[in-house]
Structure 1
Amino acid sequence: MAEYWTSRHFSLSNPRDDGSSDLPRLLRRLADRVEGIGIAPTELLDVTISQDTTEDGPWWTTTVYWSPDDDDAGEDLDGMEEPRRQRD
């Protein structure tokens, strides 16, 4: 049993000028990212979905929080694409 608590998170949003209001697209990207990282259902802590209101409509964002198994606690995620939210 671990003597520490390790959790990680990442956030995603669609590009502002390319489908920022397309929630189904964002959820598909979220599923792809969770699968790509290999987050097991037992590791998942929380998923949040929120929106900002822009002049073009809603701009959806999702954040995933997970706690990797002890074996994965030191896993290097540097190769993961850094999600960035672009603003004008």
Structure 2
Amino acid sequence: MATGVSTSGRASAQRGRSGPKAGASPVHDGRRLRDHEHMESWTIKHFSQANPAGTGQDDVPALLRRVADSIESLGLIKVQDLVMHTEITAGGDWPSLTVYFHDAED
């Protein structure tokens, strides 16, 4: 989901350490970017889902089935990304999934 902007490996090697110099501008195609030059933005839909709290809240296979059913109910979509989170609660681990998607026509 990055925009393709990266730091120059050459510049890092010349400094003898990894990563860009503090305060340095990103480099793209051998030239410095200014502010938000050439950056893209877009809107993506998403939902998060978890099992109900209590017995079975930590059941990852059940969560995956629940999310798969939700994805199918949305019709023709393209899933861009899935992110799993785990909240630690008094009742134990409580995983959730966030699904990032867009319409198949987009």
Alignment TM-score, normalising by the size of structure 2 = 0.55
1:18 CA drift (Å): 3.8
Secondary structure at the counterpart of residue 33 of structure 1: helix
Matched with 1:54 is 89
1:34 CA drift (Å): 0.5
Q: What are structure 2's unaligned runs of at least 5 residues?
A: 1-40
Q: Which runs of 4+ in 1 moved over 6 A?
A: none
For 2:76 and 2:104, how far apart are their aligned partners in 1?
Answer: 9
Matched with 1:45 is 80
1:46 CA drift (Å): 0.4
For 1:30 and 1:60, how far apart are their aligned partners in 2?
Answer: 12
For 1:56 and 1:6, how far apart are their aligned partners in 2?
Answer: 36
Matched with 2:60 is 23
For 1:68 and 1:14, how far apart are their aligned partners in 2?
Answer: 25
Q: How many residues align?
A: 66
1:39 CA drift (Å): 4.2
Match of 1:11 among 48, 51, 58: 48
**1:54-73 alignment runs, 5 A limit:** 54-70=89-105
1:56 CA drift (Å): 2.0
Cα displacement string for residues 17-59 of structure 1 (whole angstroms, at most 9, x for unaligned residues): 242111111100011111111244xx21100111011122110
Higher RCO (Cα < 8 Å, 6 or more apart): 1
Secondary structure at the counterpart of residue 48 of structure 1: strand
Matched with 2:72 is 35
Give 2:46's aligned amino acid: H
